[in-house]
């Protein structure tokens, strides 16, 4: 049953994203979509790839990325290429968050330049959320959390004890620069984390709270 619910959720989210992109593209040449990685978005990516859109005018980037090679199994760029940039959607412009530099600290400036050149404000930012309340790579145990929550820079290199690889994340400020925000989550555990987040306001404890003070459409299924 939950499988079917999650498929329907993915389809409904894809329809909402396609509608938002079409609405913005009726007024501007390019529209930007910011997606998250992880396991939840896969059926959504596949549903969106099947939508009828002027894909050459669509820009896609990520909320965050592991600092790994683009063909690594845990690369979000690879996930997007394999599940979203397929068929007609392959014509979209995809902007990854990694460079050939050894570390995200070294690559951050080049990535920021790329990101700053996109069609902001984004049409939509689709966030995921982990069991620890992180979203994008805004982790509660990251040394750079305060910086990522406060900076006006578009990206921040992140080191997180709970995560095996260094990461790069769009800053909270940059993620806020969108016309629409969605939180895409599934399962009872994440429902409980969201309930906790809604019941308090310490963003450092549950970083998803950084997005609870603006309209946030929650797409949830069991
Ligand atoms: C990533 C993102 C992360 C993700 C959540 C949820 O993993 O690339 O950094 O913010 O959206 O961790 O991940 P799942 O969908 O795998 O639960």
Mutate to test the pocket of ligand 1, among 40, 75, 96, 130 (most ligand atoms within 8 A of CB): 130
Mutate to test the pocket of ligand 1, among 6, 37, 197, 218 (most ligand atoms within 8 A of CB): 37
SS3 content of the chain, % helix, strand, coil (to 5): 40, 20, 40
Which residue positions in the chain have pLDDT lower than 50? none
Give the tokens for residue 197: 């987040």
Whole-model pTM: value is 0.98
Is the distance from the beta carbon of residue 37 to the nearest atom of ligand 1 less than 6 Å? yes
Q: Rounded distance, CA 34 to CA 66, Å?
A: 16
Residue range 57-101, pLDDT digits in tens = 999 999 999 999 999 999 999 999 999 999 999 999 999 999 999
Give the tokens for residue 219: 């797409």
**Which pLDDT does position 217 carry in this prediction?**
98
**Cα 34 to averaged position of ligand 1 atoms, centre (Å):** 14
Which atom from ligand 1 is nearest to the alpha carbon of 135? 10
Which atom from ligand 1 is nearest to the alpha carbon of 66? 8
**Which pLDDT does position 1 carry in this prediction?**
63
**Which pLDDT does position 115 carry in this prediction?**
98
The neighbour count for residue 216, using CB atoms within 10 Å, is 15
**Cα 129 to averaged position of ligand 1 atoms, centre (Å):** 6
Is the distance from the beta carbon of residue 133 to the nearest atom of ligand 1 less than 6 Å? no
Cα distances from 72 to residues 114, 123, 167, 203, in angstroms, run 22, 29, 14, 31
CB 31 within 8 A of CB 25: yes
Is the distance from the beta carbon of residue 39 to the nearest atom of ligand 1 less than 6 Å? yes
Mutate to test the pocket of ligand 1, among 70, 128, 170 (most ligand atoms within 8 A of CB): 128
DSSP letter string, 169-186: EE-HHHHH-BS-EEEEEE
Radius of gyration over every alpha carbon of the chain, rounded to an integer in angstroms:
16
């Amino acid at each position: 049953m939950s499988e079917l619910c999650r498929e329907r959720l993915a389809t409904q989210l894809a329809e909402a994203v396609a509608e938002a992109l079409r609405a913005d593209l009726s007024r501007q040449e390019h529209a930007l979509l910011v997606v998250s990685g992880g396991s939840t978005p896969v059926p959504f990516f596949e549903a969106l790839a099947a939508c009828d859109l002027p894909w050459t005018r669509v820009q896609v980037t990520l909320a965050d990325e592991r600092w790994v090679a683009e063909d690594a199994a845990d690369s979000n760029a690879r996930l997007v290429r394999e599940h979203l940039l397929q068929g007609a959607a392959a014509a979209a412009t995809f902007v990854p968050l990694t460079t050939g530099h050894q570390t995200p600290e070294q690559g951050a400036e080049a990535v920021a330049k790329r990101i700053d050149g996109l069609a902001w404000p984004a049409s939509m930012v689709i966030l995921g959320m982990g069991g620890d309340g992180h979203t994008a790579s805004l982790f509660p145990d990251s040394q750079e959390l305060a910086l990522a929550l406060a900076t006006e820079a578009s990206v921040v290199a992140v080191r997180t004890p709970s995560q095996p690889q260094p990461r790069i994340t769009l800053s909270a400020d940059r993620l806020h620069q969108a016309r629409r925000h969605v939180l895409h989550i599934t399962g009872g555990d994440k429902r409980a984390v969201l309930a906790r987040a809604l019941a308090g306001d310490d963003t450092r404890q549950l970083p998803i709270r950084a997005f609870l003070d603006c309209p946030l459409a929650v797409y949830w299924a069991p």
